[in-house]
Amino acid sequence: MLSQELGKMKRSWIMSSIIMIAIGILMIMMPVSHIGMLISALGYVLLVWATVIMLDFCSSKKVLVNYIYLTGGVLAALLGLFVLIQMLDMLPLLSLVFGLVLIVEGIYDFSSAYRYARRAGHAAWVVLAVLAALTAAFGVILLINPWWDSTAVIKNVIGCMMLLTSVFSIIRVVLVWPFRNV
């Protein structure tokens, strides 16, 4: 059971690092004039993701964890609608969405590292927890947004933070990689 959960963590980290690398490169390379299109796509992705979560809830057992996932899906739908409605004010919107994504990912990775890697006796669970805390800290920095005031700068900062957190995900995969049969 524990090795299966670690295998799920590895697959999740690989997929999240691939997605974050793509988003980071896209954010750095995209001109500021095309940010509106990216925000629209982000709003629609959040709505589709929320729909998938809600449909998954309909076909699942009605236990507490599935209600928590449903709540996350409803929040993702509300955030997607907010993104689509508030497209004119891009700078705080970009900071809000990507900051929340990094915070949620950091909290999830921290809880996974604590629950599964620590119990498995993996020596690097502390490093995994520190990397997860750094990911959440980057999200908080994006939410607070104390230093950046132009769309071009925040777009590059978001891209760099996404690339850096994808490096953290790759480090996590390398640290957990020795587990076999998962």
Are 145 and 86 contacting, i.e. CB atoms less than 8 angstroms apart?
Answer: no
pTM: 0.69
In angstroms, rounded to a whole number, what is the distance separating the alpha carbons of residues 45 and 25?
18
Count of other CB atoms within 10 angstroms of residue 125 = 20
pLDDT tens for the chain, 182 residues: list them. Answer: 667 776 777 777 788 788 889 888 988 898 888 878 888 888 899 899 999 999 999 998 888 888 988 998 999 999 889 888 877 666 677 778 788 888 998 898 888 778 777 777 777 778 888 988 999 998 998 888 777 777 788 888 888 888 988 888 888 778 776 655 44
